[in-house]
Amino acid sequence: MCGIIGIVSDAPVNEPLFEGLTVLQHRGQDAAGIATADSSRLYMRKSNGLVRDVFRARHLTKLMGNMGIGHVRYPTAGSSSLAEAQPLYVNSPYGIALGHNGNLTNTQQLREQLESGELRHLNTDSDSEVLLNVLAGELHKEGQPRISHD
């Protein structure tokens, strides 16, 4: 059981994400993380612990952007290591952050495909990292997206 929040807005989302994770704290006390993005960059902070301990005012000011996701973790699989705290991030083919709650039933099969066929390096035993890399691999195959601002 984890808690996930996502916000897209015309205004900065760092404070609303923090407030949302605070409300969702009962869904996970192991780790907390926020990833935000502006038009050119992704910003992230995550650590083991409660939301109020992971994020201070100095951290929130660095989480710039008008879109973002937040995650509080209650581990049901994998470990409680900082490497498995979410959101998770990959930069290939371009920056992608993922917050995930659930269990994949074919994690080992996907892991083997990623490590052999797609040559993606996985750092943890987390099925969430596998899911993120499957998504990144598919986006890489499709090429750079063309986003319309209309």
pLDDT of 150: 58
pLDDT of 6: 98
Which residues, in sequence order, are bridge partners of residue 47? Answer: 32
Q: Are 29 and 8 in contact (CB under 8 A)?
A: no
Active-site residue list? 2
pLDDT per residue rounded down to tens, the chain (150 residues): 799 999 999 999 999 999 999 999 999 999 999 999 998 899 999 999 999 999 999 999 999 999 999 999 987 765 678 888 999 999 887 789 999 998 899 999 999 999 888 677 888 889 999 999 999 988 888 876 665 665
Cβ neighbors of 45 (< 8 A, separation 6 or more) are 33, 34, 54, 55, 59, 62, 63
Edge-to-edge, what's the strand order for the sheet holding 3-8? 3-8, 67-73, 31-37, 42-48
Nearest-5° angle of CA 141, CA 144, CA 150? 135
pLDDT of 99: 96
> Could you tell me the end-to-end alpha-carbon distance of the chain, in angstroms, rounded to an integer?
37
Enumerate the domain spans of the chain.
3-142
What is d(CA 72, CA 6) in angstroms, rounded to the nearest whole number?
12
Q: Are 115 and 53 in contact (CB under 8 A)?
A: no
Q: Are 86 and 75 in contact (CB under 8 A)?
A: no
At the topology level, CATH places domain 3-142 in Glutamine Phosphoribosylpyrophosphate, subunit 1, domain 1 (3.60.20)
pLDDT of 148: 60
